Amino acid sequence: MNDTNPTVWVTLQATDAPKLIDFYVETFGLVVAARYGEGETVHHAQLNWPEGRGGLMLGSHRPGSEYTREPGTMGAYVVTTDPDALYARVTARGAEVVRPLAETDYGSREFTVSDPEGNLWSFGTYPGEPAP
C-alpha cells in the first residue's frame, strides 16, 4: 500500500455533480485528482483534501443502482490547521453556515456549513483521539 494515499474516503452522490465539484474546488479548496463521465453525468470523481491524506469520491445520483446514496444526506468532519482562514474563505464564497466558527468544550476550533445540495461539512482542529 502507498503511504501517501488515503485509505478511508467520504462518498456521496449528487443531483448536479459538475456544479457540486466546482463548489468544492472553489469554496473548500479541494483538488480534483480524477473525473470520469460524459457531459453532465459524472460516473466517478476523486477530490483530495490539500491539507492531508483525506479525500472525497462522488458521482451523479443513479437511483436503482446497486450502490446509491440519496443526495444531500452526507455529513463529514475535515481536520484543518487554519479554521479561521477557511471560515473566511467559505463565508466569502457564500456557503450556508449551519454552525459558526467557535471553540468547543473538547478543545477544537470548528464550524459547519451546508453545500448546495444539503450535505453538512464540519471543519476544525480536532484530530481525533489516538488509537488505544
Percent of the chain with pLDDT over 90: 77
DSSP string covering 71-132: TT--EEEEE-S-HHHHHHHHHHTTPEEEEEEEE-TTS-EEEEEE-TTS-EEEEES---PPP-
Answer for the pair 20, 58: CB distance below 8 angstroms, yes or no. yes
Q: What is the pLDDT of residue 129?
A: 85
pLDDT 10s digits, 13-35: 999 999 999 999 999 999 999 99
Contact 123, 98 (CB under 8 A): no
Domains located in the chain, CATH noted: 10-61+74-124 (3.10.180.10)
Half-sphere exposure of 39 (CA within 13 A, CB side): 1
What is the pTM (predicted TM-score) of this model? 0.89
Pairwise CA distance, residues 124 & 94, whole Å: 19
Residue-wise pLDDT tens digits, 30-47: 999 999 999 999 999 999
Strands 96-103 and 109-114: antiparallel
Provide CB contacts within 8 A for 95, sequence distance 6+. 27, 113, 114, 115
